[in-house]
Amino acid sequence: MKVALRALAWAALLAGALALEAGSSRAAPADMSRDEILALAESGVGYSYWWGNGCWRTDGTQLGSCSGSCPDCSHSGSYGADCSGFAAKVWQVPSPSAVSSCAHPYSTLDFTCDEIWWDPIARGDLQRGDAASYRSGGCPGSGGHIVVFDRGDPWGSLWTYEARGCSTGIVHNSRTLSSDYRAIRRRQLVASCTDADDDGWCVPDDCDDAAPLVNPGAAEVCGNGRDDDCDGDTDEGCGCTDGDGDTWCPPDDCDDGDPQVHPGAVETCRDGRDEDCDGLTDEDCGCADEDGDTWCPPEDCDDSDPWTHPGAPDGCGDGRDDDCDGLTDEDCGCADVDGDGWCADEDCDDEDPNAHPRGAEYCGNGRDDDCDGLTDETCECVDVDGDTYCPPADCNDDDPAIHPGARPACAWGRDDDCDTILDADEPACRGFDDGGGCGCDPGDDGSASILFVLLGTAWVGGRRRR
């Protein structure tokens, strides 16, 4: 009787455990924003690849290590993840779980061939925090991979977070994906409350999060053609004449003859004007423009670099916020051929790492090194020999045949193309005869004829004395 009761108790306990496990595996995930997804992904970068697992620490310690080739790879340490374990932890599916708690609820078979807590989307609709997965051979297939999308061209060069393999671990990298990858989106996504204009209101309540004077608590400004108070109406109860066409009317527009002057305009320091019509002139100004780009902090987020200021072109691939908008390399997705941190649309010579918008202009080389459309601007040199090259690029400004790019004349002791290699050592001039002469023919300078005449004269004189 006791044995039977004990067996029944164990059966009930086992059934309860299985029910609890089944319930937790299908529990609804919590709401997440795209920012929260990418923050979790970023926290895993640097941790090792661990086949069949998914966990890491948020303090960047105890990274672990992996050796061998998957799936027969060996892992050491308490933290790491494979691609599907990483994606599940980043997405927090099927339910909220601490990143330090190891789990592996899904495989690439689930992500690619099923819709559990995610849905398929068009590849071109990939957004931050979405994912892309594939199975070798299709569904069900065998083996596969999944990445978390960050930014870039979904069909071209894109940035991803992924547990890439035993030799690389969890990385944030630029790559391309084959057409076999299927784009998927986590369910229960919510918008992040990002107050981009710092006016104390977030989207959707703030109907224009790029304008600090537009929010539900703002007063409606007549004549600007905007819904300033986000009530769905524009210029309600207003009637005015906008003299300068800047969409603002007096008395709000304190200078209706200048379209650059109106409420919300950028206050230009040191010009003695009240551009934003707040009754103050050059308020918050009084800074030294250290880099000479006419912008001062805090608008200039790097006052030691003249290429960094509001409105500057954002150089793709340089990892910097060039236009001081709080974003780095936004809307970029291009190939930097010469590896100088600039792409072809802004790099005027993407095969030369010395030519880019931040390049130094070298005087006398006849090139546009800084991609501003000008050649050798700000240079002051005298081209003495008229060969269009100036020192120091021209290593001999007294001889028009000597300059960068000139054809070596194969003369001893000369460097005709200014590349610091003597002509005799140039590839075209390396064929020497046994007498040590130059192997190429730079042209007859008459010396051989003179020598022949002298030798002939000596021979004839010798004959006459006999």
Tens of pLDDT, residue by residue, the chain (466 residues): 333 333 333 333 333 333 333 333 456 899 999 989 999 999 999 999 999 999 999 999 999 999 988 778 999 999 999 999 999 999 999 999 999 999 999 999 999 999 999 999 999 999 999 999 999 999 999 999 999 999 999 999 999 999 999 999 999 999 999 999 999 999 999 877 777 888 877 777 788 988 999 988 888 887 777 888 898 877 776 767 677 878 787 888 898 889 899 988 888 776 668 888 988 776 766 676 778 777 878 888 988 888 888 888 877 767 788 889 887 776 676 767 787 777 777 888 888 888 888 887 777 777 888 888 887 776 777 778 888 788 888 899 899 989 888 888 887 778 888 988 887 777 777 654 433 333 344 444 444 443 433 444 444 344 444 4
> Which two structure tokens, joined as six digits, stand for 351?
């095969």
Please choose, from the candidates 149, 99, 129, the residue with its C-alpha nearest in 3D space to the C-alpha of residue 192: 129
Nearest to 164 by CA among 43, 66, 77: 66
Domains of the chain as residue ranges with CATH: 26-186 (3.90.1720.10), 381-442 (no CATH)
CB 234 within 8 A of CB 225: yes
**Nearest alpha-carbon partner for 113 in 90, 133, 84:** 133
pLDDT at 47: 98
CA dihedral 323, 324, 329, 335 (to 10 degrees): 30
User: Is pTM, for the whole model, over 0.85?
Assistant: no
- Which tokens belong to 133? 């997965």
∠ CA(399), CA(405), CA(409), 5° rounding?
A: 60
Backbone angles phi, psi at 184, to 5 degrees: -135, 155
Q: What is the pLDDT of residue 84?
A: 97
Residue 92 near residue 30 (C-beta atoms within 8 A)? yes
In Å, how far from its chain's centre is CA 86? 24
